[in-house]
Structure 1
Amino acid sequence: MNYSHLVLIFVSSIVFVFAQHAFAQSPDCRICVAEKFYEQGDTVVILGRVDAVLPDTDLLIQVYNNNNRVHIAQVTVAQDGSFTYTFPADGPYFKADGNYTVQASYGPSGNIYETSFQFQTKNTASAITQIFEVRAGDSGTFDVPYTIRGGTVKNMFVDPAMLALVIQIQADNDGTIILDLGRNWIDAKKPDGTDDTYIIQIDGVQVPYQESSVSPDSRIITIQFLEGDSDIEIIGTYVIPEFGTIAMLVLVVSIVSMMFLSAKRGSQRLSKSHTLP
């Protein structure tokens, strides 16, 4: 007897029963999802009801994340006006955590009904949080707390000539790294003493970042990276061990040159984004 086949039938039946139960609790729902949270690989269950059944007319379901369409399907509507549709939350277009919007449209009226669910990738569930001890020459060492999703940290070191902290990663997937940067060993300041922005480069291309927390002792930043990226440079106006004034002038010229190169190479990173036609 094929027990795996029986288990599959049993699980499918359970999903269907729970979906029907969820819909029974919301009889006025035009479009609903059985759960408000799904992880990568889960089966998303969409169900609802139309006001009037039109002959030979399918319901159009579209799923979006940040205005990018990640899934589309035509669904048959039952004679009583109800519909149920399932699909796996997986594949090349389900690579980002966050809110996913489900839209349903039916017939010539053009009315669109929406619902949404939260999605989490396996990378998020398997986030790595550690502290990396960085060598700083005669200044000894300092600790960098970090959390990385979608890859692993291979090394961190200081590049005094660039006033930079260099982070070498193995990016198995698109992901993020959150870094707690202590001001005692790296910072970015304007001439008036107020905070300036860091320059962040990934493999020589300047990229944006988010700063989530600022305190007198540290700054916490989040950097997004793409699958295959390797070297992240965080460039400030100060890093230990300190560097000479002449080298600082060389650094300014180098940064300006790299910004021009980044503008030319930035389009290469954009071409890696995934959008369903």
Structure 2
Amino acid sequence: MIIRVTLLFTTILALTMIGASSALAQNTACPTCIDDPIAMAEEAKLQAVPVSLWIGSGTYMMSDTVTITGHVANIVEGAPITIKVIDPAGSLVLVDQLDVDSNGDFESEYAASSWHYPGIYTIMAQYGSTARDNKVQFELTESEKMDPVMGCGSNMLSIEEMCIPYDIEGGKVTGTMVNSDHNSIVLDISAYDGGQLQVDFPSEVISDIFFVMVNGEESNDAEVDGQSVKVHFIAGTESIEFVGSHVIPEFGTIAALILGASLISVVVISTRSRLGLVNRF
């Protein structure tokens, strides 16, 4: 009987000590999580992951601001966290270092307009060694508030007050220029991936297209069928030039011709007026 009582007392004492130790461990790990199992689970998750990283949305437009927040489990005094952003082509477009506060938290904001290509971006956060890192991804899309390209509608080229439709994959057209010296039309593009551009040029704009240049070099991947041209390009391409036997005069040239004709008219009228006055006297 005495032995049973002694064993029962020993068991109760052991359970009491285990419960006290467990409660002490919970309170030490998360003093603010008392009686809150959800908060305790979140805190345990943060402590288990060396670097946690969040963004405000999975999709951003180019007019938006990208907000990055995160947390490190074990703070190293004076050590910053390194943020890197990789664009859809795999190029490094941002490197930044952020301070970590006394709670292990960090935060920063970046303008999405500084990243020119739509697509999937990767944000990486590294704290010290590569074993303590994390990453998230988001999609960057065209801003709905952006003005139509060069004053025409969407997917239309503006060349000397004419709007010419085109199709493009893997990039976007950012500008147009008439090069009268080369009898060519030059398109500025932002190519975030390999793709192709197809344009049907009116003969009034350019005629007898006989070759195409990509980034200043003659393209071997261009298909010319009369006034219809299809050009293949690689990621990072910046310009495509279409060369023909004749090109529409630039607005500046037309304006100069009009100005010259106007000046001649003024001279003729002035001369006639002076002659009329002389005849009267």
Which category of TM-score, normalised to the shorter sequence, fits these structures? Answer: 0.3 to 0.5
Structure number with the bigger relative contact order (C-alpha 8 A, sep ≥ 6) is 1
TM-score (norm 1): 0.45
* TM-score between the two structures when normalised by the length of structure 2: 0.44
The structure with more radius of gyration: 2
